[in-house]
Structure 1
């Protein structure tokens, strides 16, 4: 999912440089939504691992 957020961000930057405002705004918004979903899933995963008492594997 982080991969798709980065891809959308790159598309937004390229579209912004080329002057496609609507496409850049849409891609940037989509990338932002995917990024925040990724962050929420990361926090949920960290909390779940902490509650189970397992740390990261070395």
Structure 2
């Protein structure tokens, strides 16, 4: 019984880190357009800031 518990514990610990990656992938695919808009707006802000500096 104890050996079964020990062998099942690492399997569960390896499953846990994979869950956030899967959820983040689905989130990225759903809000890809929003993320692109955010990325481009940030890039535009940086470009405007650099133009103001120079």
Q: Give the TM-score taking structure 2 as reference length.
A: 0.46
Larger radius of gyration: 2
Q: Give the TM-score taking structure 1 as reference length.
A: 0.43
